[in-house]
């Protein structure tokens, strides 16, 4: 497995395939701040990864004050050390290998 962060990956054919519970601040610590912003309401930040022809994304979904006033601001969300659900999108239905890679990376860093 050699997934790589790719800021310019073509994510147009990706859709929800899985989810992961993690502190958003851990993603920021390892990969830097979210690299893409998809829209002004449902997604406040997104990371894109590639391995060969496979493309995966990790993003928040309706998790910030962009979606509802009673939610955290995007800055507070991505700074949070509390476990939050992040969505995993992909251009293939099987994200198990990517999810395992993420979990292993988050545990070892």
Judge whether residue 60 has pLDDT over 70: yes
Instruction: Bin 95: left if φ > 0, else alpha if -120 < ψ < 50, else beta.
Output: alpha
What pLDDT, on the 0 to 100 scale, is given for residue 109?
77
Domain boundaries, the chain: 37-48+60-90
CB atoms inside a 10 Å sphere around CB 37? 13
Residue 21 three-state SS: strand
Cα separation, 74 vs 25, whole angstroms:
12
Judge whether residue 87 has pLDDT over 80: yes
pLDDT, tens only, 14-45: 999 999 999 999 999 999 998 866 667 899 99
Distances, alpha carbon 49 to alpha carbons 1, 15, 42, 81, 88, in Å: 12, 14, 20, 23, 11
pTM to 2 decimals?
Answer: 0.93
**Confidence band of 86 (pLDDT split at 50, 70, 90):** very high
């Amino acid at each position: 497995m050699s997934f790589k962060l790719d800021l310019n990956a073509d994510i147009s054919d990706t859709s929800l395939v899985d989810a992961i519970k993690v502190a958003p601040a851990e993603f920021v610590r390892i990969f830097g701040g979210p690299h893409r912003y998809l829209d002004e309401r449902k997604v406040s930040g997104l990371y894109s990864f590639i391995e060969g022809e496979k493309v995966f994304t990790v993003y928040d979904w309706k998790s910030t004050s962009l979606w509802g006033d009673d939610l955290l601001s995007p800055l507070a969300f991505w700074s949070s050390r509390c476990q939050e659900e992040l969505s995993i999108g992909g251009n293939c239905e099987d994200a198990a290998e990517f999810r395992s890679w993420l979990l292993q990376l988050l545990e070892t860093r």
